[in-house]
Structure 1
């Protein structure tokens, strides 16, 4: 347990930040899952639409520090190539 006032405050801040980051990560994964489900189903139109919605979510996660920017770019690139393959 934190001993000083400032350390206690940092623990409180960390708990809040962890909740926010978890929500952002979950939201991003949901958008990615929708694209992957559409790809698996072979629905090119739905996959394209879901990808257009997922791309800004992935990049926003990178901007907020949930993902590294190169990781986000790689995810977008791989999803784009998979969407293009079924189109």
Structure 2
């Protein structure tokens, strides 16, 4: 247990940040999963729409500091390649 007031506050702040980060990560995983499900079902229009939403979610995670820019770019590129492969 923290003994000082500042340590107690750090525990509270860390808990809030953890909850916020978990929420964003869950949204991120859900968005990517939706794209993958559309790809498996071979639904081109749905895959395009889900890809657009997933890219937005990934970008939001970057701005909140949850993902590194390069990691986000890699994930978006990977999804984009898979959707383009389905289209062609």
TM-score (norm 2): 0.95
Over aligned residues, Cα RMSD in angstroms? 0.7
1:45 lines up with 2:35 in the alignment: no
- How many residues get paired? 87
Q: Deviations over 1:23-63 (max 9, x none)?
A: 01001111111001001111111100100111010011011
> What are structure 1's unaligned runs of at least 5 residues?
none
1:26 corresponds in structure 2 to 26
TM-score, normalised to structure 1, is: 0.96
Which aligned segments of 4 or more residues in structure 1 are displaced greater than 2 angstroms?
Answer: none
User: 1:2: Cα distance to partner?
Assistant: 1.1
Indicate the residue corresponding to 1:55 in structure 2. Answer: 55
Q: Does 1:68 align with 2:72?
A: no
User: Structure 2: which 5+ residue stretches go unaligned?
Assistant: none
